[in-house]
Every structure is written in structure tokens, then in C-alpha cells.
Structure 1
Amino acid sequence: MLPGLPLSLGLTLSYVGLIILLPICALVYKAASLGPVAYWEIVSSPRAIASYRVTGLSALGATLFNLFFGFALAWVLVRYRFPGRRLVDAIVDLPFALPTAVAGIALTSLFAANGWFGSALAGIGIQVAYTPLGIMVAMAFTSLPFIVRTVQPVLEDLDPALEEGAQSLGASDLSIFFRVILPLLGPALLAGVSLSFARSLGEFGAIIFIAGNLPNQTEITALLTYIRLEEYDYQAAAAIASVLLITAFVMLAVTNILQAYGLRYTQKG
């Protein structure tokens, strides 16, 4: 037995119970107190369904953007040396340190019709602020580090001999990428995508300033939950929030299964 294991295990379980399990249990209990009929009426109301659609599609769009851009950013940071590389690497973690409300205000200022980016985009007929596109921008900003930071260490630890061996056998750069590198990065990419999507689903502060918050158009599920709390309708808030909770649990379960399968496939290969 490792020294200090009982104490460290006790502290860990206490932390998990108080900080993670207790709020989740309270949420489930509050939602379950409604009864199945009332619960279904709340979570299936037209306004709630519209918020699921806006949240889910925006999170999907932001995650797909981060999948390509985040992977490219991680690749550049690992494979190339250039002036300012350390600064760029530090900026990747900015969404972790920056309060989400501050990020939302900054993004709104940049992408508003009179903002630096917004005025340029308005010239070609693209409006970002107060549209679903603005929600995607906010989600992409806050969730980008999850993909970069999960892929980056795996890229750094890749054995160069694998690529050199493929090159000695006559494989092209494209073939090496898709048949050697990408399969090894699969589990890390999957983890990063799942974390990015989960963060986007639950994002609130960065979105409410840039979204416009119009019911059935740009109202996200987290905001609808907050509105129900402001109305002191705690059961309805818990019911709506439980939909996001269930979605996150299902997504993480599927991700873990796919990761386990990918690791077994990689080890066999």
C-alpha cells in the first residue's frame, strides 16, 4: 500500500462527493420531483426544444471548427520553430484564464457591426453578433484549448522512427499522415473533441453578450435555465438542465467506448 493512500483517497472521495456528486444528485432529485408527465411537458416545450437546437447545432459547428483549426495549431506549435512561438503557445490558454463574461464582451465589441471584424464582415453581408454564428464564435473561443492541449503532448511524444520508417518504404507525406500519424492521434483527438463539445454545451458567460438571446432563435439552453431560476421555477430549471446533463453523460460514455476501442486497435497495429 502506498504511504498516505487512505488519507489521499479519503480526501479525493470527499472532494468528488461534495463538489461533483452532491450538486448532480440535487439536480436529479429536483428534476425527478416533477413526475414524468410534468417533466416531459417542460423539457419538450417548443421554447426548450428550440434552445436545444440552437445549443446543439452551435456546439457542433464550433467543435468542427476547433477540430481542424485546433489540430493545425497544435501541429504548428509542435513541428515548427518560429519567432513568437512561446507567445502563441501561451495565448492558447487565454480562454482558461479569461473570465467568460469578459470574453463575451470583447467578442461582441469585435464582431458588432461597428467593430473591427464586424464592420469588415458586414461589408460582404455577414453578420456575426446577435446571430447563431456569434454563438459559434463564442463557443469556439472558449473551447479551443481543449483540443490543442490534448493533441499537443501526443504529437510531441510520437516516435520519429515511425515516420522515418514509412518514408524509407516509399510512403508519401500524405500517406504517412493518414496511415501512421492520424491513427496514433485518434484517441487524443476524440478526447479533445468530446471535451470541446461538452464545454460548448455548457457555456454561458461568453455567449449571452453576443447571442442576442431571442427565444426560438438565439436563446441557448443554459440561458433558458437561468431564466427559469430568475422566475423561481427551480423544478423547471432543473428539468431543462438535466437534458444537458444527460447529453453530456451519454456523449462521454460513447467517447470512452470509442477511445478504448481505438487504443486496442492501435496496440494491435
Structure 2
Amino acid sequence: MSKARTSPVRSAAAHAILITYTVVALFPVLVIIINSFKERRAIFRSPLSLPNAESFSLIGYDTVLAQGDFLLYFQNSLIVTVMSITGVLLFGAMAAFALAEYRFRGNPLMALYLALGIMIPIRLGTVAILQMMVAGGLVNTLTALILVYTAQGLPLAIFILSEFMKQVSDDLKNAGRMDGLSEYRIFFRLVLPLVRPAMATVAVFTMIPIWNDLWFPLILAPAESTKTITLGAQVFIGQFVTNWNAVLAALSLAILPVLILYLIFSRQLIRGITSGAVK
């Protein structure tokens, strides 16, 4: 009886906490979007107020679309992000399946090597990466960014996915082998559908650093034809003068893909994060 009485209270408290966290997380995003529709003076005078008839202005969006090739920057970011996530999920899942399923002499050393890849940031090797890209003729190409971001996301993806794949029933995989399925079919038809929440989690946490990154686009692909949306937004930030209307408008447009991806994968993301936490 006591559990039945307290469960609605706990449910209400959980919902209140969830709403609070959501408001706190979305508040900076809302402030950026609201101020992107204001004139410059209103941004600094009343940053938390909604735009009205006097303060409303689309000059930031007009500037973004007129100055520079924002649609090209957006396209470049989309191509790099989608291709990098695809590579991380595909190769990461295959490597994680091998580590979780097969026992070989170098298995622990490989797992340790991948763990070190999580702790050591890839930016420490920027000079060596740039030298390799120059030698391969990949500077100022989207391929260079895709390769770097794929390598950057693989250690964490393999670490997370291998733990989930260890939880997949061995009886299910052995039954597939008895039915004549190859290891590739077992991987793609039996294992991957069961780890979709983990795949969605890896996809979201891989996308955000790639989409928001400024370092590698500035080092490897600073040309006008290969600029990403984050690097393109730096056009409006000067040493002495910053066009805040354009900056906020560019940031508002750049936020949209992240929000769309979160809405698409939110259920799988929550399942992936909370898997194993509640029994």
C-alpha cells in the first residue's frame, strides 16, 4: 500500500525534475533565437525580452544569407557530419562486435588502446595530421574532415557499443549460426537491431562535437568552398567590431539540425543512456 501511495508522488517529482532540466538546458538556446530577431540595441538593452514591433528585425538573417555562401557552409557541415557519423557507427559497431564476441590474444590490449584513445584528445596530433593531409593532397577537402572526425569518434563508439553487445544473448547468436547465417548476417540482422538505443546515443554524442567544431575546419579546410557553418559564422566576428545580429542568426540556424536529430532519436537516446540503470 505504501508503494502504491508514494508512486504518484515519485512520478510527479520525476516529471518536475525533468521539466526543470529541460528548461535549464533550453534557456540559452531560446535566448539566442529570441535575440536573433532583434535589432542591435535591443539585444543589449533587454536580452531576455521578446521582440516587439519596435525591436523586431530580420537584418541578421538578411546579412547571413547575403554575405558569404551560408547555404554552402550548411551543406558542407551536413555532408561532413553525416558521413562521419556513418563511418563511426559502421566501423565502430563492427570493431565492437569483434571485441565483444571473439576472444583472441590481443583483445585486452586492443580494449586498452581504445580506452587511451578516449582519454587522449586527437587535437594533440594536429601537426602530424596536417602533415599527413598535405602529403596526401587532402588539404581543403571535406574528405580530410571526414577522416579526422571518424577517427576521433571511433574509440568512444567502440567502448560504448562493445559493452552493449556483450549483453546480447549468446543463445540467439548460436541459433543463427545453427541456421546457417554467416557472421556478417548475424551482425547486421540479429545484433544491430538489439543495440539501436546505443547506436542512437553514439550518433547524438558524435554529431554535436563534429557540428560545433572550429579547430579542424580552420586547420584542414579553411578555403571558401570547404568552410563549415561554424567556421563560416566567424566571418561576422571581427577584431574590433562584431556583427551580433548576424552571429546570433547564424547560430540559430546552426542549432536546428542538432534539435531535429535530438527529436528524432530522443526515445532511443534515453533508452541507451538509462539501459542497465533500472532493473
TM-score bracket relative to the smaller structure? 0.7 to 0.9
How do 1:93-172 and structure 2 match up within 5 A? 93-94=115-116, 96-99=118-121, 101-113=123-135, 121=136, 127-168=137-178, 170-172=179-181
Residue 223 (str. 1) matches residue 208 (str. 2): no
Aligned mate of 1:200, from 210, 235, 241:
210
| Structure 1 residue 60 corresponds to structure 2 residue 70 | no
Flag the 1:103–1:236 CA change in 2: closer, same or farther, 3 A.
Answer: farther
Separation (CA, whole Å) in 2 of partners of 1:95 and 1:30:
39
List aligned pairs for 1:1-269, cutoff 5 A. 20-34=25-39, 35=56, 37-45=58-66, 46-94=68-116, 96-99=118-121, 101-113=123-135, 121=136, 127-168=137-178, 170-173=179-182, 174-211=184-221, 213-215=222-224, 217-230=225-238, 231-256=241-266
Q: How many residues align?
A: 242
1:53–1:103 Cα change, 3 Å: farther
Deviation larger for 234-243 or 76-85? 76-85
Q: TM-score, structure 2 length as denominator?
A: 0.71
SS in 2 for 1:157: coil
In 2, Cα distance between equivalents of 1:16 and 1:106:
41
Return the letter of the residue paired with 2:124.
V
Give the counterpart letter for 1:128 in structure 2: L
Task: Summarize deviations over 1:41-65 as a string: whole Å, max 9, x none.
Answer: 2343452111111111111222222
| Higher Cα Rg, which structure | 2
Which 10-residue stretch deviates more, 170-179 or 199-208?
170-179
Q: Which runs of 5+ in 2 are unaligned?
A: 1-5, 40-55, 272-279
**Which amino acid in the other structure matches residue 81 of structure 2?**
A
Cα pair 2:74 2:229 within 8 Å, conserved: yes
Contact conserved, 1:59 with 1:200, CA < 8 A, in 2? yes
Q: CA deviation at 1:39?
A: 4.0
The residue type paired with residue 173 of structure 2 is E
Counterparts of 1:204 and 1:100, CA distance in 2: 14
Moved over 6 A (4+): 8-18, 258-261
> CA contact under 8 A between 1:42 and 1:48: conserved in structure 2?
no
Asked whether the 8 Å contact 1:102–1:206 carries over to 2, the reply is no
Between the two proteins, what is the percent identity of the paired residues?
15
Shift of 1:155: 0.4
The one-letter amino acid paired with 1:172 is L
Match of 1:264 in 2: none
Q: Secondary structure at the match of 1:130?
A: coil
Query: Residue 99 of structure 1: CA displacement?
Result: 4.3
Q: What is the rounded CA distance, in whole Å, between the counterparts of 1:95 and 1:227 in structure 2?
A: 33
TM-score (norm 1): 0.73
The 2-side partners of 1:232 and 1:153 are apart by 46
Q: How far has the Cα of 1:12 moved from its partner? A: 9.4
In 1, the alpha carbon distance for the partners of 2:17 and 2:268 equals: 31
Instruction: Tell me the amino acid that sits aligned with residue 181 of structure 2.
Output: S
Please tell me the root mean square deviation across aligned C-alpha atoms, in Å.
3.4
Going from structure 1 to structure 2, the CA distance change for 1:98 and 1:207 (only over 3 Å counts) comes to farther
What stretches of structure 1 of length at least 5 have no aligned partner? 114-120, 122-126, 262-269
* CA distance, structure 1, for counterparts of residue 177 and residue 151 of structure 2: 37
**Structure 2: distance between partners of 1:151 and 1:85:** 15
Whichever residue aligns with residue 228 of structure 2, its letter is I
For 1:61 and 1:179, locate their aligned partners in 2 and report how far apart those are by CA, in whole Å: 22
